[in-house]
């Protein structure tokens, strides 16, 4: 008897719903010095263990002795724990429901009002404006025009591409990163810091000021959030919309579901098409872990995409979207947002803003995906980038 898949009985067990797998398989290159780990249980064990340390792109150059000049992303140990504790209050379910949800709703309504007035719009532009506005509220970058700030943030990303540039491009890349970083500091970060020195608010910048951060330290943190929170969420919103537009049954289920049910669907989409494909770590000591031994000083590339589709954990037909999978397999969370000490603090923000926006978008009268997104590779995220997706609707 052939194996059938639980969510869609009768369909081919080999059906593959992933949209970005072929691109990532072709473009993601891992150097011979790294050991790639892709089993779900072992990846999670490594992320939770105390034998691994952050080794993300540029980690060596990013860690400087004073933790106020080092992004939370690149810290480890006690300094990291203190920084995470200090920001945890901005990411609680209560903070989302009392402070940020209204921003998600108002921004979605504004974007969709514009869409209805014009009859069509670029999905990736809407998703970036939403992601920037929501993250800016959490950070406290609210003293400048948000659409203009989104463009300045986009320009600063040249800095993230530096490690991948050929030697001859690096001086230009560095100069560009400096100019764009300075512009972001002068137009956005500086005014936000001055306003909060005069009148503190409930946001990351006010918190950093209270802890004695300099403006440069605050800029570093803002740039971390720009990449970690804004750029990733922009891509995910478009990816989730693409799946929902193309799968009628899934869309109907999404629109009929309550909030928890909608989030389950989004997490399942993110499982097969994660925005972050790999996380790099190095080991500090040799140890025998449940998943196998690690040697001291190993560079590990933890493949979240592969781990999320490991049949030993996620069950049969791992490349198919099955919103009941997590419950059936008793999985509390996949690895799309990492795990352990560095697990993404913004996971619920990203899922909730995607949910709020898509729930409204998919109810717009006459809404349709007029042009599917171009699926490109981005060296900034080592992942997919979805551009030029156009949605159209009945004119208001
Ligand atoms: C779909 C959207 C998102 C994805 C896929 C994502 C993914 C991730 C992943 C995989 C990590 C762990 C990196 C590691 O362990 O090395 C991470 C860390 C982080 N994320 Fe997110 N993220 C998203 C949205 C957000 C948002 C909305 C925010 C904030 C507004 C945010 C802020 C952060 C921060 C500050 C870190 C560093 C945490 C630390 O190192 O302790 N992320 N993210």
Domain boundaries, the chain: 21-392
pLDDT at 139 over 90: yes
CB 285 within 8 A of CB 323: no
pLDDT at 176 over 80: no
C-beta neighbour count of 296 within 10 angstroms: 11
Q: How far apart are CA 90 and CA 202, in angstroms?
A: 8
State the DSSP string of 222-266: HHHHIIIIIIHHHHHHHHHHHHHHH-HHHHHHHHHS-HHHHHHHH
Kindly give the distance from the C-alpha atom of residue 227 to the centroid of ligand 1, in angstroms, as a whole number. Answer: 9
C-beta neighbour count of 166 within 10 angstroms: 7
Q: How far apart are CA 361 and CA 338, in angstroms?
A: 28
Residue range 119-142: mean pLDDT, rounded: 95
Ligand 1: which residue has its CA nearest to atom 36? 344
The confidence band for 1, taking pLDDT boundaries of 50, 70 and 90, is very low
Q: How far apart are CA 62 and CA 45, in angstroms?
A: 25
Query: Could you identify the atom of ligand 1 that is nearest to the CA of residue 336?
Result: 10
Residue range 21-43: mean pLDDT, rounded: 94
Q: How far apart are CA 304 and CA 43, in angstroms?
A: 8
Q: How far apart are CA 362 and CA 341, in angstroms?
A: 36
Specify the pLDDT at position 11: 66
Residue range 348-360: mean pLDDT, rounded: 98
The fourth-level CATH superfamily of domain 21-392 is Cytochrome P450 (1.10.630.10)
Specify the pLDDT at position 161: 67
Backbone angles phi, psi at 347, to 5 degrees: -55, -45
pLDDT at 319 over 60: yes
Q: What is the DSSP letter of 121?
A: E
pLDDT at 173 over 80: no
> Is the model more confident about 156 or about 19?
19
Closest to 139 (Cα-Cα) out of 234, 220, 81: 220
Ligand 1: which residue has its CA nearest to atom 1? 233
Query: Could you identify the atom of ligand 1 that is nearest to the CA of residue 274?
Result: 5
| 3-class DSSP assignment, residue 303 | strand
> Is the model more confident about 381 or about 234?
234
Place of tokens 């992933």: 18
Q: How far apart are CA 58 and CA 76, in angstroms?
A: 15
Q: In whole numbers, what is the pLDDT of the chain averaged over residues? A: 90
Query: Could you identify the atom of ligand 1 that is nearest to the CA of residue 354?
Result: 1
pLDDT at 35 over 80: yes
Where does ligand 1 bind, in terms of residues with CB under 6 Å? 54, 56, 72-73, 84, 135, 138, 224-225, 228-229, 232-233, 236, 275-276, 279, 336-338, 342, 344-346, 349-350
Residue range 189-195: mean pLDDT, rounded: 96
What distances in angstroms separate CA 332 from CA 263, 303, 325, 327, one per listed residue?
A: 13, 19, 11, 8
Specify the pLDDT at position 3: 57
pLDDT at 4 over 90: no
The confidence band for 69, taking pLDDT boundaries of 50, 70 and 90, is low
């Amino acid at each position: 008897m052939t194996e059938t898949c639980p969510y869609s009985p009768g369909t081919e067990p080999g059906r593959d719903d992933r949209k970005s797998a072929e691109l990532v398989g072709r473009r993601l290159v891992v150097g011979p010095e790294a050991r790639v780990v892709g089993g779900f249980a072992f990846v999670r064990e490594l992320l939770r263990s105390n034998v691994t340390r952050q080794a993300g792109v540029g980690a060596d150059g990013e860690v400087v002795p004073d933790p106020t000049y080092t992004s939370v992303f690149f810290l480890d140990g006690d300094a990291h724990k203190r920084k995470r504790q200090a920001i945890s209050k901005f990411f609680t379910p209560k903070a989302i429901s009392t402070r940020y949800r209204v921003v998600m709703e108002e921004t979605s309504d504004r974007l969709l009002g514009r869409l209805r007035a014009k009859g069509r719009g670029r999905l990736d532009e809407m998703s970036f404006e939403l992601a920037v506005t929501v993250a800016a509220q959490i950070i406290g970058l609210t003293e400048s025009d948000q659409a203009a700030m989104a463009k300045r943030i986009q320009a600063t990303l040249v800095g993230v591409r530096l490690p991948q540039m050929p030697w001859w491009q690096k001086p230009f890349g560095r100069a560009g990163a400096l100019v764009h970083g300075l512009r972001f500091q002068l137009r956005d970060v500086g005014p936000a810091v001055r306003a909060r020195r005069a009148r503190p608010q409930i946001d990351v910048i006010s918190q950093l000021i209270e802890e004695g951060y300099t403006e440069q330290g605050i800029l570093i943190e803002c740039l971390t959030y720009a990449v970690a929170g804004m750029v990733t969420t922009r891509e995910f919103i478009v990816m989730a919309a693409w799946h929902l537009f193309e799968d009628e049954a899934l869309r109907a289920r999404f629109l009929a579901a309550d909030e928890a049910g909608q989030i389950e669907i989004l997490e399942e989409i993110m499982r097969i098409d994660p925005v972050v494909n790999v996380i790099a770590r190095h080991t500090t000591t040799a140890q025998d872990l449940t998943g196998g031994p690690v040697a001291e000083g190993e560079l590990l590339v933890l493949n979240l995409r592969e781990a999320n589709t490991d049949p030993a954990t996620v069950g049969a037909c791992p490349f198919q979207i099955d919103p009941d999978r997590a419950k059936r397999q008793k999985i509390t969370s996949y690895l799309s947002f990492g795990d352990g000490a560095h697990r993404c603090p913004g996971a619920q923000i990203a899922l909730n803003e995607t949910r709020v926006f898509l729930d409204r978008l998919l109810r717009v009268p006459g809404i349709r995906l007029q042009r599917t997104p171009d699926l490109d590779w981005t060296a900034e995220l080592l992942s997919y980038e979805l551009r030029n997706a156009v949605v159209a609707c009945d004119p208001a």
